[in-house]
């Protein structure tokens, strides 16, 4: 049996299989079976979903936090990934979206969140017109044009 240990600080919330728990003191939880959870520090508020990747993250997050809405939220996420893959030009984002799409099919939702969260800085750089972080040295002409002053 695999045991998963998670430390929670006083006042921190954790979302476990649709339930919201708050620790009144520092505590370590041991999960003895398969569980779907999300730590409060990884939760985006609705007003933080200001970019396409943050919106995708929120869709998947919603499925984890509220299993009752998982079906529609995940269907929307799958459709969103298809649209995003036809919109982005950045090779790193496109490659990671392909992995997200595969993980969605396999039910590995937390892995999707981890991958998408890692892309936030690159997306922010593209939107702000700065040179994207951790990108391939060869950019498409469209991306170069977006970054030109």
Which pLDDT score is estimated for 1? 65
Burial 17-41 (b: 16+ CB within 10 A, else e): eeeeeebeeeeeeeeeeeebbbebe
Q: In the chain, which stretches have pLDDT less than 70?
A: 1, 131-149
The predicted structure's pLDDT at residue 130: 74
pLDDT confidence of residue 148 = 41
What is the distance between the terminal CA atoms of the chain, rounded to a whole angstrom?
A: 57
- Two structure tokens written together for 2: 């695999």
């Amino acid at each position: 049996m695999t045991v998963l240990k998670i430390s929670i600080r006083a006042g921190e919330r954790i979302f476990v299989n649709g339930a919201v728990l708050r620790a009144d003191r520092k505590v370590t939880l041991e999960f003895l079976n398969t569980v779907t959870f999300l730590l409060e520090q990884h939760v985006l508020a609705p007003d933080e979903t200001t970019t396409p990747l943050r919106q995708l993250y929120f869709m998947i997050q919603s499925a984890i936090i509220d299993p009752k809405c998982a079906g529609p939220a995940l269907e929307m996420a799958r459709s969103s990934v298809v649209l995003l893959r036809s919109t982005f030009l950045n090779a790193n984002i496109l490659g990671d979206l392909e992995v997200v799409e595969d993980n969605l099919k396999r039910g590995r939702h937390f892995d999707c969140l981890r991958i998408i969260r890692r892309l936030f800085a690159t997306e922010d750089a593209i939107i702000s017109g700065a040179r994207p972080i951790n990108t391939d040295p060869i950019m498409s002409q469209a991306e170069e044009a977006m970054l030109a002053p």
